[in-house]
Amino acid sequence: MTSLRLLIVMTFIALNSPVSMAEAPATGNATQYVHLQPAFVLNYGDNTTGRLKYIRTDVALRVIGAEAAGKVNHHQAYIRNQLVLLLSQQNETTVNDAQGREKLRQVALDEIRALLTELEGKPYIEDLYFQNFVAQN
């Protein structure tokens, strides 16, 4: 019974510690995902109909190594700004079509890579993912 209590207490401590094994910082050239938080919630398209249209999406950036993750985190405000500007310019056809969203993902990746190349001399981002993508027309 005592060993069971000890196991429960140790499990509780491990799961509630600031850095658990699953969250340990990666070193070297390990793949990391930088999640841009909070989620993007914005209106998009022109407002000619008088009705606002919204997009909600979570974005993750795949990078290789701690240096790349650090650079992306350092410039996260600028990256988020550029993504907000890009997403808000879209139309219903783009956001409601799988091929349109894929093109948008590729354009967003290219823009953010160009931004980091301009700022840091290297693109640092391997890929960009929409973890979810909800549009209200």
Parse the chain into domains and list their residue ranges. Answer: 27-136
Domain 27-136 has CATH 3.30.420.40: no
State pLDDT tens for residues 85-129: 999 999 999 999 999 999 999 999 999 999 999 999 999 999 999
State pLDDT tens for residues 14-36: 444 443 333 445 457 899 999 99
Structure tokens at 11: 């499990």
Dist CA 102 CA 110 (whole Å):
12
Structure tokens at 76: 């996260």
Q: Which amino acid is at 13?
A: I
Q: What share of the chain is helix, strand, coil (3-state, %, to 5)?
A: 50, 30, 25
